[in-house]
Structure 1
């Protein structure tokens, strides 16, 4: 049976060049980057070279990059690390949005239980935060604003430049979860009003289990992991050398192919919506998210009148991989908190499916999958 992978927002297939770079490290002599002997120095050199490459791609200093185990740790470290440091300065208020990834929301909930104040901003029906509401939520004791760049469920892009400017005008630190946006968005962090930014390798055809956190020099921060003095004492633990090398290679590929990749993803997203609309004449489909400000690789679609779980089960039976939202909540029957935050109708909320595209997907593949979906929808409607 032909299989179609349309769930790149959950994780992306590893690029062959990334795998090759990692295998070279994993089958080499080894060495702990903290060891003083030649093997350790060589491992340290590899990590530093990877850090230099990633920093150059992000437009920041190598010393501002901290390697982590992925996006979740990067988000947790940014929020908890800043919150702890700023609390000592008498600031214990955090602002975020109701449409953030659970790595941010659950961290904020944990901090609220520990005595911090948290404001959860609403989003509009397209998933976008109001800059005016961000400004209005700032208080004298506000320590941090955390707003993601590109939403992982509907693809909506947030106005991070405007939010960051407002934050800095009020002396507030700004964290951006860029895990989903990094593959297509271009950043020059030294020129942006951003103090912390989170990344993950497996969203850009790199390995799982490795990510990075940008911490601008001078940003108040306390580490959440203690032990060794790795990462300039900001993240203890032996570095994942092979993973870091793979991450750097994935970033290099992204930088060199960003323009062509974005054009292809835009084409795939547009073609997918057009194919479905042309083939599903008897079924209304609605695209959820912002029509203008969105990631090119994600499209969230409501198949009106067809239950999400029923649709996903039938898609899987036909070899089509998609999702109902974040992979971190898979197995849960609870509807998307992002779509709920957007205040969509129950019909749209209960029939939404996320498709996301990337390496390996083609227009021809989408055409074939769309034909299968037309058959699936007809079968479901017949049995309703």
Structure 2
């Protein structure tokens, strides 16, 4: 049976070069980076070299990078710290954020009495910047704005430079979950205002179980995990040396091939969109995922003309990996909390599937997907 992987927004395959540097590290770099002897110092140097390179690739200082186990941990760390240590009383967010943000914000509302405001969306799921400014202008308390840089289900790219400017204007903190952005679109932290940014290695062809947060200098972050005082006292736990090295290598490769990779992915996506519209009259594309500057190249969210509960399962039986939305929640299929916010009830009942690409996908594979969809649908 043919195998086609079109779920790169859920996770990516690991680059061969990343596997190689991680294997070499496992063989020769086994010291504890907190140890003072030469084995420990060697591991520590490897971590700090990776930190410097990652900082260089995203335009910040190495002192502003903290390594974590995941994007989820990073979001938890920043949001909890903002409320418990930085005096944030109000959080402005949207209802289409990842649950790694929404669930934390709801917990902070219940536990700490934080005032949570949700900014409106347009008909394509984009943030209403005028309303965001209106909200910011009316709040006198310390405010944190948390909006994801790229939506993981519909691929919409936040106008993050404008959001950063608004936050600067009204002296609000700005946190962005950039898990779907880092390694996929150009991000230079020198070019816009942001206080906190979160990334995860497995979204850009690195290993799972490792990520990082950017914390703008002068912000104090206190740890959620207490113990050994690693990561500048922000995250106690022996660092995952091999995965950190692998993540740095993956990001370096992703940035170096980004232009060529994006060009190929856009050609694949355009081809697939045309094939879909030719074969399935009346289908629509959710959010900005069809194309253009406001949608990330790798994500295409397709809404079919009717409900087909077995479509995802049928594709899986044919060896095709896709998603109904986020793959970061356990359990069965649920109505997308993202689509729910801007589709009417009739459209929401229709089956939507997220196809997400990498430059490893072939046109022949896309033809196979179209043929499979025809045979199932």
Q: Partners in 1 of 2:29 and 2:354 — Cα distance?
A: 43
Match of 1:92 in 2: 89
Checking the alignment, whether the CA contact within 8 Å between 2:265 and 2:359 is kept in structure 1 is no
Q: CA deviation at 1:342?
A: 1.7
Q: Name the TM-score, length of structure 2 as normaliser.
A: 0.95
Find the residue that maps to 2:28 and give its secondary structure: coil
Q: CA deviation at 1:370?
A: 1.1
Q: Partners in 1 of 2:140 and 2:238 — Cα distance?
A: 39
Checking the alignment, whether the CA contact within 8 Å between 1:302 and 1:349 is kept in structure 2 is no
Distance 1:242 1:359, change over 3 A: farther
Deviates more, 1:344-353 or 1:216-225: 344-353
Find the residue that maps to 2:328 and give its secondary structure: helix
**Deviations 1:307-326 (CA, angstroms, capped at 9, x unpaired):** 2x311011111111111110
**Deviations 1:293-349 (CA, angstroms, capped at 9, x unpaired):** 000000000111132x31101111111111111001253332000001123443345
Match of 2:101 in 1: 104
Tell me which of 114, 125, 128 is aligned to 2:126.
128
Task: Give the gaps of 5 or more residues in structure 1.
Answer: 378-384
Match of 1:17 in 2: 17
Deviates more, 1:344-353 or 1:367-376: 344-353
Which residues in structure 2 correspond to 1:168-247 (within 5 Å)?
A: 168-247=168-247
Find the residue that maps to 2:34 and give its secondary structure: coil
Checking the alignment, whether the CA contact within 8 Å between 1:276 and 1:370 is kept in structure 2 is yes
Match of 2:296 in 1: 295
Q: Partners in 1 of 2:147 and 2:349 — Cα distance?
A: 23
Q: CA deviation at 1:29?
A: 4.5
Deviates more, 1:244-253 or 1:142-151: 142-151
Task: Give the gaps of 5 or more residues in structure 2.
Answer: none
Checking the alignment, whether the CA contact within 8 Å between 1:298 and 1:357 is kept in structure 2 is yes
Distance 1:330 1:284, change over 3 A: farther
**Deviations 1:196-248 (CA, angstroms, capped at 9, x unpaired):** 10000000000000000000101243322221221111111110000000000
Kindly report the root-mean-square deviation, in angstroms, between the aligned alpha carbons of the 2 structures. 1.4
Q: CA deviation at 1:85?
A: 1.7
Q: Partners in 1 of 2:223 and 2:346 — Cα distance?
A: 42
**Deviations 1:174-202 (CA, angstroms, capped at 9, x unpaired):** 00111001122112213321011000000
Find the residue that maps to 1:329 and give its secondary structure: coil
Q: Partners in 1 of 2:300 and 2:81 — Cα distance?
A: 33
Does residue 137 (structure 1) correspond to residue 135 (structure 2)? The answer is yes
Q: Name the TM-score, length of structure 1 as normaliser.
A: 0.94
Q: CA deviation at 1:288?
A: 0.5
Find the residue that maps to 1:190 and give its secondary structure: coil
Find the residue that maps to 1:47 and give its secondary structure: helix
Q: CA deviation at 1:279?
A: 2.3
Find the residue that maps to 1:294 and give its secondary structure: coil
Does residue 59 (structure 1) correspond to residue 63 (structure 2)? The answer is no
Which residues in structure 2 correspond to 1:243-254 (within 5 Å)?
A: 243-254=243-254
Q: Partners in 1 of 2:270 and 2:344 — Cα distance?
A: 22
Q: Partners in 2 of 1:143 and 1:306 — Cα distance?
A: 41
Match of 1:278 in 2: 278
Distance 1:150 1:247, change over 3 A: same
Q: CA deviation at 1:368?
A: 2.1
Q: Partners in 1 of 2:220 and 2:116 — Cα distance?
A: 19
Match of 1:356 in 2: 356
Q: Partners in 1 of 2:347 and 2:89 — Cα distance?
A: 39
